[in-house]
């Protein structure tokens, strides 16, 4: 039994990921009605197995660490970015023509590093789809949007993508992604922008020219709040402050303050933002609720998996880590993938960022860029697919999207391998 128990303790984590991967497609009504129960059921099973293996005190302490140290700061930042992004309305502009559409994708790629892939995705998908509403074919624009705005653009900062946020919370400097992932990002972004422009121009030549409307931006308060919150996130990494005891663990004061600030930002934004802006952006708490439930279950059930991989004899080969972390990100989720491999590499940010930092660069690039290969790779993918479907875009199913994304991205990953990790 002692040899079987360590394997059994990893079952709740696998069950959590499989539930979120399969049930929304196989039994959507059942899933949406029972998502919380199913997720908490896996967490409860994990706690029971932890008690059996380590005793109730260590099991409770582990759950406290997973919740307070890992989950709360992480989800608080994501929720604040999601709320602020949904409180800014962009109407009109040069979008709707090939040059304007590619310009919006380029802006979104940069903006994703500033306000997160979730925030940038929810902010810009509406003007992109609204300005192209009369066109019969828009799926190529949504595909390019998911690749660039919902995933690749997040490589520029810890604000951009959940994996890099986890790295930042574990000691990776705030500007490290900008310094080390800009080159790999350009290898993805420039060809995808060119390909999107070429195909969009081909399609647009056979369609009516859309009417151009004056650009209008509403939600100034949220822009101000977003700017201040981004500055607070950067400052929390530069000046962590003294560590404060929270039960059996200690956390930097700046991280605690940032978590509380995120809650204040959400409340102010919700209270002060016009309902019209929220409605025009089709803002809803449902997607954020699903993300919160998913990540709570992941953080609560992942410790046994982290322990197993941390002791596994993985060769420290950047090329291997780029592809291995990437494939895991594509079919599971990029955030837990990054966390697993980060710990497998030793879990020390100070050691991993030491130049040339090839292993951390490979892990970060794989976790972020491969997130666009399937709908499951990153949280915004499913949100954007749902928004596009509600606006009448005939989005491909899971395997159809996977084939299309892989045809575009796999050749670019091969180039990345040769240039940066070969």
- In the chain, which stretches have pLDDT less than 50? 1
**Predicted pLDDT of residue 191:** 97
Instruction: Say if CB 358 and CB 161 are below 8 A apart.
Output: no
pLDDT digits (tens, 9 = 90+) for 1-44: 456 677 788 899 889 878 877 787 788 889 888 999 999 999 99
Q: Residue 37, Cβ neighbours under 10 Å: how many?
A: 8
Q: What is the DSSP letter of 374?
A: S
Ranges assigned E (strand) in 55-116: 89-93
How many angstroms separate the CA atoms of 130 and 113, rounded? 24
pTM over 0.85: no
Helices and strands: H and E segment counts in the chain: 20, 4
Rounded to 5°, the CA angle 206-212-216 comes to: 140
Domain that holds residue 233: 5-421
Find the helix or strand (DSSP H, E) in which 285 lies: none
**Predicted pLDDT of residue 1:** 47
Instruction: Say if CB 129 and CB 391 are below 8 A apart.
Output: yes
- Provide the number of structural domains found in the chain: 1
């Amino acid at each position: 039994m002692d040899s079987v128990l360590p394997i059994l303790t990893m079952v709740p984590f696998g069950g959590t990921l499989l539930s979120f991967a399969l049930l929304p497609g196989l039994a959507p009504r059942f899933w949406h009605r029972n998502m919380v129960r199913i997720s908490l059921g896996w967490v409860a099973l994990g706690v029971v197995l932890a008690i059996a293996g380590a005793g109730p005190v260590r099991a409770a302490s582990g759950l406290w660490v997973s919740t307070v140290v890992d989950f709360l700061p992480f989800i608080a930042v994501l929720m604040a970015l999601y709320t602020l992004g949904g409180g800014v309305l962009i109407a009109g502009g040069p979008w709707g023509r090939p040059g304007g559409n590619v310009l919006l994708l380029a802006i979104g790629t940069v903006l994703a590093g500033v306000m997160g892939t979730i925030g940038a995705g929810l902010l810009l998908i509406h003007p992109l789809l609204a300005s192209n509403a009369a066109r019969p074919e828009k799926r190529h624009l949504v595909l390019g949007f998911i690749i660039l705005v919902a995933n690749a653009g997040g490589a520029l900062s810890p604000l951009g993508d959940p994996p890099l946020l986890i790295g930042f919370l574990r000691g990776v400097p705030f500007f490290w992604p900008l310094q080390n992932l800009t080159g790999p990002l350009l290898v993805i972004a420039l060809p995808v922008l060119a390909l999107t422009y070429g195909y969009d121009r081909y399609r647009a030549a056979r369609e009516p020219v859309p009417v151009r409307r004056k650009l209008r931006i509403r939600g100034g308060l949220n822009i101000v709040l977003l700017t201040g919150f981004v500055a607070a996130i950067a400052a929390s990494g530069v000046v962590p402050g003294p560590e404060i005891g929270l039960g059996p663990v200690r956390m930097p004061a700046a991280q605690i303050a940032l978590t509380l600030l995120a809650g204040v930002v959400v409340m102010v934004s919700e209270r002060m933002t016009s309902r019209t802006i929220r409605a025009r952006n089709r803002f809803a708490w449902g997607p954020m609720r699903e993300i919160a439930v998913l990540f709570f279950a992941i953080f609560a059930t992942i410790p046994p998996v982290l322990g197993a991989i941390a002791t596994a004899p993985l060769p420290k080969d950047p090329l291997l880590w780029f592809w291995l972390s990437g494939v895991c990100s594509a079919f599971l989720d990029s955030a837990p993938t990054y966390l697993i491999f980060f710990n497998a590499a030793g879990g020390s940010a100070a050691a991993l960022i030491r130049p040339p930092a090839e292993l951390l660069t490979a892990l970060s690039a794989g976790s972020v860029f491969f997130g666009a290969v399937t709908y499951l790779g990153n949280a915004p993918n499913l949100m954007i697919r749902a928004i596009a479907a509600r606006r009448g875009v005939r989005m491909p199913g899971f395997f159809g999207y996977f084939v299309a994304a892989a045809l575009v991205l796999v050749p670019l990953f091969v180039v990345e391998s040769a240039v940066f990790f070969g």
